[in-house]
Amino acid sequence: MREVNMSFKRVVVFTLLSILMCGFFSLAMAGQYKLVSVPTVDAPLNGDKDSYIGKDFLSDDGRIALFATVGANHDLYVRDLENETTKKVNVSAQMHDILLSGNGQYVVFITASALTADDTNSHNDVYRYEIATEQIDLVSKRLAAFSYDNVYKPASDSNGRYISYTGSGGTYLYPLIICDMQTGEEKVATIAATGAKVTYVNYVISKKMSNDGRYIAYASANLHDTLIFDQFSGTLDPLLELRSRYVDFYLYSRWSFDLSGDGRYLVGPGYHLSLNLPVPGPGQNPYLQAILFDTVTREGELLSESTGGAPGDFISGVTFSGDFPEPGVSISGDGSVVAFSSNSKNLLDGITLPRNHNFYLRDRNAQTTKIASHPPIESSSDYSYSGVKGSPDLSDNGKVLIFSTTRRLTGEDTDNSSDVYAYYPVNDADGDGYAEDVDCDDNDINVNPGAMEVPYNAFDENCNGMGDDDDLDNDGFLRDQECNDLDASINPAASEIFNNGVDENCNGPEDDEDAQVIVEELDEVVTTLPPDVFVAPDGGNNATKVGENRTGAMGDMLDAVLATLSDYDPSLSAAEKLALFTDALNDLQMLAAKADGFYGGNPNNDWIVTEEGQQAFYPLVSGMIDFVNAEIDKL
């Protein structure tokens, strides 16, 4: 009974701790913003104030983020959002066209500085920097098969193996170059069917690679469409539908676009013709929407619309900074979630916002739109100002969005400078503070990872499976399969600990007592049997002495068995347990052989020679042998 009470106390303590931890987790879930541009002792930001991000500054899983500072130093930093550490990118050069590989291990950038011995030209080159080791490798090695002067617009796969960029001024006019950092191969993208080199009639203004490095999408500065090259098959998809308006929208990708990690979806600013919105003519300000194009179905989709279906009433999908546009779209790896910028006033149903620049998230599966760059807005009075700058960057899993803003979104942000934030979108239909991807029933406020599990009601309140509903001690046995569901050490598969008053293996108390009680019973039988039971009737004048000697010898053997079994400990190795039980078994079998003549044994070996004596002794020792054999079988 004492053991059960102790187990119950452990469950109570564990439950109280769970309540506290769940409360902490719930509070953590309620905070949707996390400051990214945080200085540390190792990375004090050197007095720079304003921070910003670029395109592809976030790892696929949303854990690692890049941010740059604006000021005297203009440095680049790496922030681990899980470990909350900041590390400076240790490169002494002016970097541009910067991006982070999807696995968060490499920074790819362009610089005119010669950072390695094999950079022997005076032009811009592409480099790859490994964050963990600070190793710098030259990417654009300018192999002899072709020549070019400057390089532009690098792109990388998730692993930092394939890196592409654009060359200019050489044998081929603006060739697309692909480098394999694993094999060292550097080549011009070539169409397999014709042998033609993939070149541009003007410099590339934006470019993106799929996660596996297969697809490379790029937009030329003097074209209003995007082309996708498949480097594994050597084919080029010019996406003529976009340029020729064969679909109901027009993707204006020369300004801004993004490619989903699977290479299927393109997103960017464009004109949705079916909405009868103005298409810009000479001197007109473009009235753009955020648009998605499916390269498989060749169909388009309007993204910049409210949950209720109202299209944005102003520019979306691109960010204007003076006369120069910046990317205003970012898409998750599977294309299910898209972040886009917009100056529209009507993207929150029933709420009219000022015509300020904001970032939104569009869930294509749920057909919902929510504002990401401002705390939740229930009415127009909840909105103060935006303060966002630059471009949004969405993680490949669609669960983290980073952006720059002057708005203070957390308590640790105490200045008025521009900072980088991470936004964690929460789709929480029942309002319990847990997103739908972790809430096993997002329509029931009483069901979530922080809920208290009600045992034995056939309902999973805390979303961790039915184990703690029917198996509170998580030992793999349901309540009706074991004898104590509050103690994981007690179940039918447990090893019995002899003579401790606890039925570990749930088969009753007999085998807990057997080790000592049965041996003691055997010893009592031996000591209480008259001496003549131990010798034949014709034992002669020494019969009494022989009987006494055999009684003592059998008692010593029984004491040895008990001593051996007393050395048992659950922490012993399997080999040690086997040796212990084998020693006990040998002694018991020797004892049985001294009293089994009436049970099929050799009567000439018997020390207990009467049938009545063997009936009192043999069943007990035989049962003990079965018990020890059963323990050996468990090993």
pLDDT tens per residue, range 186-202: 888 888 999 888 776 55
pLDDT of amino acid 122:
83
Which one of 360, 394, 428 terminates a domain? Answer: 394
List the structure tokens of 511.
């085998």
pLDDT of amino acid 518:
67
3-state secondary structure of 394: strand
Which one of 394, 425, 443 terminates a domain? Answer: 394
pLDDT at residue 88 tops 50: yes
Give percent of the chain with pLDDT exceeding 90. 24
User: What is the span of the domain harbouring residue 589?
Assistant: 510-634
Average pLDDT, stretch 506-512? 65
DSSP letter at 517? I
512-566 pLDDT tens trace: 555 566 677 777 777 777 777 777 656 555 667 777 788 888 888 888 887 887 7
pLDDT at residue 397 tops 50: yes
Of 171 and 531, the one with more pLDDT: 531
Alpha carbon distance 160, 179 (integer Å): 10
pLDDT of amino acid 454:
79
pLDDT of amino acid 476:
79
Which one of 340, 372, 394 terminates a domain? Answer: 394
Give percent of the chain with pLDDT exceeding 70. 77
pLDDT at residue 499 tops 60: no
pLDDT at residue 304 tops 80: yes
DSSP letter at 312? P
The β-bridge relationship of strands 96-100 and 106-111 is: antiparallel
Q: Write phi, then psi, for 73 (nearest 5 degrees).
A: -105, -35
List the structure tokens of 195.
């042998």
359-372 pLDDT tens trace: 999 999 988 899 99
Q: Is residue 265 part of a domain?
A: no
Average pLDDT, stretch 207-223? 82
- The domain tally of the chain equals 2
CA 61 to chain centre: 8
Average pLDDT, stretch 250-279? 72
Q: What is the mean pLDDT of the chain?
A: 79
pLDDT at residue 285 tops 50: no
Alpha carbon distance 7, 490 (integer Å): 10
pLDDT of amino acid 12:
36
Split at pLDDT 50, 70, 90, the class of 29 is very low
Split at pLDDT 50, 70, 90, the class of 1 is very low
pLDDT at residue 428 tops 70: no
Split at pLDDT 50, 70, 90, the class of 41 is low
DSSP letter at 46? G
Of 32 and 89, the one with more pLDDT: 89
> Rounded to two decimals, what is the model's pTM?
0.64
Which residue carries 């980073």 as its tokens? 402
Q: Is residue 567 part of a domain?
A: yes
Q: Which amino acid is at 624?
A: M
Give the Cβ contact number of residue 282 at 10 Å: 4
pLDDT of amino acid 595:
87
pLDDT at residue 19 tops 60: no
Taking alpha carbons only, the member of 219, 159, 229 closest to residue 189 is 229
Alpha carbon distance 166, 587 (integer Å): 84
Partner residues linked to 186 by β-bridges: 179
pLDDT at residue 258 tops 60: yes
By the 10 Å C-beta count (0-12 exposed, 13-18 middle, 19+ buried), 569 is classed as exposed
pLDDT at residue 101 tops 90: yes
3-state secondary structure of 92: coil
Q: Is residue 100 part of a domain?
A: no
Which residue carries 């020890």 as its tokens? 628
pLDDT of amino acid 481:
82
DSSP letter at 570? T
Give the Cβ contact number of residue 231 at 10 Å: 21
Q: Which amino acid is at 564?
A: T
Split at pLDDT 50, 70, 90, the class of 6 is very low
Q: Is residue 595 part of a domain?
A: yes
pLDDT of amino acid 468:
60
pLDDT at residue 441 tops 50: yes
pLDDT at residue 66 tops 90: yes
Run of H or E including 525: helix 519-528
Q: Is residue 522 part of a domain?
A: yes
Alpha carbon distance 48, 46 (integer Å): 6
pLDDT at residue 244 tops 60: no
Q: Is residue 111 part of a domain?
A: no
List the structure tokens of 609.
């020679």
pLDDT of amino acid 28:
33
Quick check: 374 and 408 in contact, CB under 8 A? no
List the structure tokens of 442.
């997002």
Cα separations (Å) of 34 from 209, 375, 601? 28, 12, 81
Range in 29-33, 260-264, 472-476, 606-610 with the lowest mean pLDDT: 29-33
pLDDT at residue 221 tops 60: no
Partner residues linked to 35 by β-bridges: 421
Q: Is residue 600 part of a domain?
A: yes
Partner residues linked to 326 by β-bridges: 319
Partner residues linked to 302 by β-bridges: 291
Q: Is residue 389 part of a domain?
A: yes
Write the CATH number for 587: 1.20.1440
What end-to-end distance do the CA atoms of the chain give, in Å?
Answer: 29
Which residue carries 């979303």 as its tokens? 463
Alpha carbon distance 469, 471 (integer Å): 6
Q: Which amino acid is at 529?
A: L
Taking alpha carbons only, the member of 317, 320, 322, 315 closest to residue 338 is 317
DSSP 449-491: TTSPP-TTSS--TTSS-SHHHH-TT-SS--GGGSS-TT-TT-S
